[in-house]
Amino acid sequence: MVTITVDGLEITVPRRTRLLQACLDNGIYIPNLCYLEGMDQPPASCRLCLVEIEGRPGPVPSCSLEVEAGMVVHTNTDEVQKLQKMAFRLLVCTNEGQCRMCMANKRCELQRIAKFLHMPLRTKRLRHLPKDLPEVIEDHPCIVYEPNKCVLCGRCVYVCAQQGNDFSLSFANRGFNTVISFFGSQNEGQGDACLDCQACVDICPVGALNLKDDRRRHLRKMAAKAKARG
C-alpha cells in the first residue's frame, strides 16, 4: 500500500494504482472522459484529469500516473482549472448544447463536468464550430453516430476491442474531422452481432452513439412533446 496526499487529504491505496483511480475510489472527483478502469495504458487524450504534483513541472494527466509514496497532489489549482475549463470549452463548441433534445440528457458526462467546473454548456468565448461532416452518420446497420456530439474519448474503440469483435471500431480521418468509424460494418451478420453486443453504445459518455431504433423512438417522442407544447 502507498499513502499519498490529495488536496490535503491523506489516502492509502494499493501500489501501482493509477492516480485518477485512487482519487475516484476515495471520493475525490476529477473530471475525466477517456479513462476506464482496468485500462492497461490510458489514452490520456481528453486532457481533463490534469492535476499538479509537487516537485513536477506543469499539470500532468492523473489517469496515466501511478501513485508514488509521499506524492502531494493538488487537483484544483488555478493552472489546472484554467486548462480544464479551456479543454471543456473546446469540447462543447462543436455541439450547440441542445441538451434537452439529446438522448443522453441528464446522464451525460459533459453535464456532470459542466456542473463540477461551474461552466455553461454553451460557450460564449469560443465560436460554435461544427465539424465538416454530416450531422448524423448512419452507415452502420443498427447504430447511428453523431460526430458533433462525439468527444473522441475512444472508450467505444477500447470496449469494442475488449469484446474481441472481429471487425474494428476505430478512429478515422485526421485533425478536427477525426471521427470514429465502423470498418467492415456492412458485412453480413454484423448488424446482428452489434445488436447483441451494444458495448459501444452503453459506454459512450455523451450519447454520440445510439441504436437506430432507440433514436427513432426518441425523436418521435420529442416531436410529440414539442407538438403538445404547441
Partner 1 sequence: MNQNPTPSEQLDRLRQPAKESWHALQDSDVPVIYVGHATCGRAAGSQETIEGFEQALADKGIAAEIRTVGCLGHCYAEPLVIIHYPGFPPLMYQKIGAGEARVLVNSFLQAGEDPCFEYLLGALEPNEMFPTLMDYPRYLYEKRVIMAHCGRIDPENIDHYLALDGYQALAKALEQGGQWVVDEVKAAHLRGRGGAGFPAGIKWEIARHAEKQPKVVICNGDEGDPGAYMDRTLMESNPHQVLEGLAIAALAVGAERAILYIRAEYPLAVRTIQQAIYAAREKKLLGDHILGTDFSLDISIFQGSGAFVCGEETALIQSVEGHRGMPQYRPPYPAVEGLDGLPTVINNVKTLATVPAIISKGSDWFKTIGTEKTPGTAIFSVVGEVEYPGLVEVPMGVSLEHLIYEVCGGIKDGKPFKAVQIGGPSGGCLPESELGTAIDFDSLKQAGAMMGSGGMVVMNADACMVEVARYFVDFTQKESCGKCTFCRIGTRHLLAILEDFTKGVGSDDDLQELKSLSEGIIKGSLCSLGKTAPNPVLTTLKFFPDEYLAHIHEQRCPAMMCRALTAFYIDLEACARGCDACVACCPTEAIFTTSNRKKAIDQEKCVKCGECVYACPPEYDAVRRVSPPGMIPDQGIKPLVETKEEQ
Question: Which residues are near partner 1 by CB under 8 A?
Answer: 41-48, 50, 58-59, 61, 64, 79, 82-83, 86-87, 90-91, 93-94, 125-127, 129, 151-152, 154, 170-171, 173-178
CB 143 within 8 A of CB 211: yes
Smaller CB distance to partner 1: residue 70 or 130?
A: 130
Residue 44 CB, nearest distance to partner 1 (Å)? 4
Q: How far is the CB of 87 from partner 1 (least distance, A)?
A: 5
CA–CA distance, 48 with 60 (Å, rounded to integer): 10
- In the DSSP assignment, the letter for residue 53 is E
DSSP 8-state class, residue 44:
-
Q: Which is nearer to partner 1, 160 or 211 (CB)?
A: 160
Taking Cα atoms as reference points, which of 187, 176, 185 lies closest to residue 209?
185
Give min distance, CB of 144 to partner 1, in A: 21
**Neighbour order of strands in the sheet with 50-53:** 9-13, 2-6, 72-74, 50-53, 60-61
**Closest approach of Cβ 197 to partner 1, in Å?**
22
Q: Pick between residue 14 and residue 58 the one whose CB is nearest to partner 1.
A: 58
Q: Which is nearer to partner 1, 123 or 198 (CB)?
A: 123
Kindly give the pairing relationship between strand 72-74 and strand 2-6: parallel
| Closest-CA residue to 66 (of 8, 21, 6) | 21
Query: Which residue lies nearer to partner 1 by CB, 43 or 207?
Result: 43
- Residues near 78 by Cβ (< 8 Å), separated by ≥ 6? none
CB of 137 to partner 1, least distance (A): 16
Least separation in angstroms between CB 112 and partner 1: 17
Nearer to partner 1, 9 or 129 (CB): 129
- Per the rule left: phi > 0, alpha: psi between -120 and 50, beta: everything else, 137 is beta
